[in-house]
Amino acid sequence: MFDFALSAVDGSARAGSFSTPHGDVETPSFMPVGTGGTVKGLVTEELEALGARVVLANTYHLYLRPGHELVRDLGGLHDFMRWDGPILTDSGGFQVFSLAGIRQIHDDGVEFRSHIDGSRHRFTPESVMDIQRTLGADVIMAFDECPPGGCDRRTAEEANRRTLAWLDRCRSRFSELGRQKDVPAQALFPVLQGNVFDDLRRAHARQFMDMYDWPGFGIGGLSVGEAKPDMWRTLELLDSELPADRPRYLMGVGYPDDLLEAVARGCDLFDCVAPTRNARHGSAWTSEGGQINLKAARFKSDRRPIDPGCDCYTCGRYDRAYLRHLVSSAEWLPLRLISIHNLRFLVRLGEEARRRVLDGTFDPWKRDWLERYRKEGSSP
């Protein structure tokens, strides 16, 4: 039910298909982030129109509001969101561990205060499995400890130890819940940690594979402040360690150049809040010269779309001058329109990367694309 098949490989870049009960996901694929059960500002029909095949929701946020049991009583996450395609829920671990000053970590789990009302809560590997089982996503993530970028070796080692122990508890609870009646079919992905220490990354990957025959892998602890060369080196190491016949989900990475660099190093699935977060500040991605800020005065009379090569709804109907006017006037509409463009930009980038892998031209295409994207001053 959760099969992964590779159609082609070009270097380490892969074109595959991940099967789930709610449909197949062709990879590489970017997953829009619907933190609290919605991709900010968009309805599900718009997500379908821009080519999204799988969306991500967040365990921490849905647990706090409206509550996972209410989501279950309202038909489960698919019905609640009105999304018929695959859904992945992360464990909430990153959100909990980012609550510095209002959480305490111990071997049994994490105690934290809600960012909403300050109420006290506790996550354990077992409770996180219970919550995600109740929400009913297709793919759920194991509870892990994500140390900050730039941490020392001792901190990374402790996070690895705890994550491995928690993974064993997550798997046991997941299996126990799976024997109950009327539970949805779900796949449990572990989350690899180790920061940027090669030996810790390698050891963690091997320990995980010795534990169980996982249907896929999450790669955590990257894009958290480390230098880009360290990220790329770590992904190259994991490419040689992880089985080729399982999907690899690089967590929290979604800027266009980062996505392509990760595809080149064997990653398949991606998520990031940047497309909609940047849109709320008037920032949009273009294939010539990278990111532009539509608040800039130079766009006041610009009748061109955000990106002339883009096929999204926004680029097909609106120009930069109008979008600049809306952003400068603090209207709500541009938040939606730019979000549609940014999300389509990433989804389309994954689609094109897949086509290039299939026809064997990925590497020269990637080099040319990144050169144009990163060329300073080339954005018209």
Q: Would you list the domain boundaries of the chain?
A: 4-272, 279-374
Tell me what the mean pLDDT of segment 253-270 comes to.
97
User: pLDDT, tens digit, for every residue of 27-69?
Assistant: 999 999 999 999 999 999 999 999 999 999 999 999 999 999 9
Q: Which distant-in-sequence residues (6+ apart) come within 8 Å of 117 by Cβ?
A: none
Report the distance separating Cα 143 and Cα 231, nearest Å: 22
For residue 31, what pLDDT is reported? 98
Residues 189/228, Cβ–Cβ less than 8 Å: no
Report the distance separating Cα 235 and Cα 238, nearest Å: 5
Report the distance separating Cα 309 and Cα 92, nearest Å: 37
User: pLDDT, tens digit, for every residue of 262-292?
Assistant: 999 999 999 999 999 999 999 999 999 999 9
Report the distance separating Cα 304 and Cα 69, nearest Å: 48
Q: Which distant-in-sequence residues (6+ apart) come within 8 Å of 319 by Cβ?
A: 302, 303, 304, 305
Position 379 confidence tier, pLDDT thresholds 50, 70, 90: low
Sheet holding 4-10, edge to edge: 4-10, 13-20, 23-27
Please give the class, per CATH, of domain 4-272: alpha beta
Q: Which helix (H) or strand (E) holds 352?
A: helix 333-359
Tell me what the mean pLDDT of segment 151-165 comes to.
97
For residue 378, what pLDDT is reported? 58
DSSP assignment of 134-161, as one string?
Answer: HHT-SEEE-----PPTT--HHHHHHHHH
Nearest to 16 by CA among 2, 27, 29: 27
For residue 97, what pLDDT is reported? 76
Position 380 confidence tier, pLDDT thresholds 50, 70, 90: low
Alpha carbon separation from 190 to 42, 166, 195, 253 (Å, rounded)? 30, 10, 15, 17
Tell me what the mean pLDDT of segment 10-21 comes to.
98
Is the per-residue pLDDT at 224 higher than 80?
Answer: yes
User: pLDDT, tens digit, for every residue of 108-119?
Assistant: 999 999 989 999
Count H helices, E strands: the chain? 15, 17
Active site residues: 90, 271
Tell me what the mean pLDDT of segment 100-112 comes to.
89
pTM value? 0.97
Comparison of pLDDT for 157 and 96, the residue scoring more: 157
For residue 377, what pLDDT is reported? 60
Tell me what the mean pLDDT of segment 329-338 comes to.
97
For residue 170, what pLDDT is reported? 98
Share the mean pLDDT of the chain: 96
Is the per-residue pLDDT at 16 higher than 80?
Answer: yes
